[in-house]
Amino acid sequence: MADRPRFFDDLAGAAGGAFSALTGLREELHAVVRARIDEVLSSLDLVRRDELDVARELATRARMAQEDANDRLARIEERLADLEKAVTAPSSHS
């Protein structure tokens, strides 16, 4: 009676095999569901979060560069106006 009956060993082996099969089935099901979700998302023309973050960062940098360019242009136009006034102003030496 010290030895376990072979039946329990066989049962434990079958349970282990079933557990392995279920684990494999779960992983395969997960892969199929993930592929289907990716397929649906791509058909909706959605973007991934990381792509959106990159686009947002590019837009922010572009907006900042545009604001800098506008400021520079305003300063250049101001200087040009001052130079035009200086050139067209009557000379005070006459």
DSSP labels, the chain? --SPPHHHHHHHHHHHHHHHHHHHHHHHHHHHHHHHHHHHHHHTT---HHHHHHHHHHHHHHHHHHHHHHHHHHHHHHHHHHHHHHHHSPPTT-
Q: Tell me the percentage of the chain whose pLDDT exceeds 90.
A: 52
pTM given for the model: 0.46
Mean pLDDT of 22-30: 87
Domain holding 60, by residue range, is: 48-88
Q: Is residue 57 part of a domain?
A: yes
Mean pLDDT of 35-45: 86
Q: Is residue 94 part of a domain?
A: no
Residues 29 and 64 reside in one and the same domain: no
Quick check: 46 pLDDT over 60?
Answer: yes
Q: Is residue 93 part of a domain?
A: no
Give residue 1's pLDDT: 45
Mean pLDDT of 18-37: 87
Q: What total of structural domains would you count in the chain?
A: 2
Quick check: 16 pLDDT over 60?
Answer: yes
